[in-house]
């Protein structure tokens, strides 16, 4: 089975890295093409993938094609993808916002079109990904998607109506979390701690807190109460965050991302 990537930016590079590192995929069977050949050449040199210079060349060689260009670019490549699409080829789009219905319409109702939404933590094999398929999809196709994307982290199947909010809380949210960690560290710098040390402490504490939520099964607010000693220090910070609309600010950000995602359809 040959796998091809159109658009070799951050995400395709992360997926190729994960597939290349796993024992399940042979890089002789991974193909890539990018608008500028430099990026293709980097991946040829680094992972031993097969470089293509045109969509036509790639489409003729692969069984699975991953559309990994920006959503705004997708409509300009789909006519060429359609022109060379064979009946048994599998199309996977990772573009934000572009629905299965849109992709099916652009590709003349091609039967095997799927959406996957990974996140940037794929680069270190820690993506939280989801996928969505048309109702009639076979288990073999689902297994193929899961095997590909398990090489970069975890993946769950979701109904497509939850794709947009998944994109926000699963795939845009790493940017929020990086911002939060940097804010904690920057506050420590104000108190005299070196930035590098502060980042390591803040990131490690966020990692531990995330594990606590996943493993303890406690309600997050019960955990908040466990940190806040009566008359203690933490409650001062928690009430300060609440007075500054912490939850409201997060909701506003989530809604802003989700609105933009809807506008891409």
Ligand X SMILES: NC(=O)C1=CN([C@@H]2O[C@H](COP(=O)(O)OP(=O)(O)OC[C@H]3O[C@@H](n4cnc5c(N)ncnc54)[C@H](O)[C@@H]3O)[C@@H](O)[C@H]2O)C=CC1
Ligand Y SMILES: O=C(O)[C@@H]1CCC=N1
Binding residues for ligand X (CB under 6 A)? 6-12, 33-36, 39, 68-71, 73, 76-77, 94-96, 117-120, 171
Is residue 69 marked as binding? yes
Is residue 6 marked as binding? yes
Is residue 221 marked as binding? no
The CA-based dihedral angle spanning residues 145, 148, 154, 158, taken in that order and rounded to the nearest 10 degrees = -10
Q: Quick one: angle between helices 173-190 and 195-216, nearest 10? A: 130
Nearer to ligand Y, 71 or 111 (CB): 71
Out of 158, 172, 185, 202, which residue is the one contacting ligand Y (CB under 6 A)?
172
Q: How far is the CB of 209 from ligand X (least distance, A)?
A: 22
Q: Which does 68 bind (CB under 5 to 8 A by kind): ligand Y, ligand X, none?
A: ligand X
Rounded Cα gap, residues 121 and 83, in angstroms: 34
Rounded Cα gap, residues 47 and 251, in angstroms: 40
Q: How far is the CB of 222 from ligand Y (least distance, A)?
A: 31
Contact 180, 205 (CB under 8 A): no
Q: Name beta bridge partners: 153.
A: 127
Q: How far is the CB of 41 from ligand X (least distance, A)?
A: 12
Q: How far is the CB of 168 from ligand Y (least distance, A)?
A: 8
Q: Name beta bridge partners: 3.
A: 30, 64
Question: Residue 74 interacts with ligand Y (CB under 6 A)?
Answer: no
Contact 167, 136 (CB under 8 A): no
In the complex, residue closest to ligand X by CB: 9
Is residue 7 marked as binding? yes
Place of tokens 């911002």: 179
Out of 99, 121, 132, 167, which residue is the one contacting ligand Y (CB under 6 A)?
167
Place of tokens 């960690």: 181
Chain Cα centroid distance, residue 249: 23
Nearer to ligand X, 12 or 91 (CB): 12
Instruction: State the residues that interact with ligand Y by CB under 6 A.
Output: 96, 167, 171-172
């Amino acid at each position: 089975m040959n796998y091809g990537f159109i658009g070799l930016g951050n995400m395709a590079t992360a997926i190729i890295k994960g597939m290349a590192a796993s024992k399940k995929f042979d890089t002789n069977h991974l193909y890539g093409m990018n608008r500028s050949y430099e990026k293709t050449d980097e991946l040829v040199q680094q992972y031993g993938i097969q470089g293509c210079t045109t969509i036509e060349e790639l489409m003729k060689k692969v069984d699975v094609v991953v559309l990994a260009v920006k959503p705004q670019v997708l409509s300009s490549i789909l006519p060429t993808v359609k022109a060379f699409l064979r009946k048994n080829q599998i199309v996977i789009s990772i573009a934000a916002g572009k629905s299965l219905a849109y992709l099916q319409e652009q590709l003349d109702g091609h039967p095997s079109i799927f959406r996957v939404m990974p996140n940037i933590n794929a680069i270190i094999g820690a993506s939280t990904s989801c996928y969505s398929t048309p109702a009639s999809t076979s288990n073999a196709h689902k297994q193929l998607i899961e095997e590909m994307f398990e090489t970069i982290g975890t993946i769950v199947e979701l109904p497509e109506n939850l794709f947009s909010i998944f994109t926000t809380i699963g795939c845009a949210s790493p940017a929020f979390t990086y911002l939060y960690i940097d804010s904690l560290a920057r506050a420590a710098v104000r108190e005299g701690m070196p930035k590098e040390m502060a980042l390591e402490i803040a990131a490690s504490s966020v990692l531990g807190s995330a594990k606590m939520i996943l493993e303890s099964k406690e309600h997050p607010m019960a955990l908040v109460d466990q940190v806040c000693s009566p008359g203690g220090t933490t409650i001062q910070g928690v009430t300060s965050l609440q007075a500054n609309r912490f939850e409201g600010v997060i909701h506003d950000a989530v809604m802003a991302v989700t609105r933009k995602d809807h506008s891409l359809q």
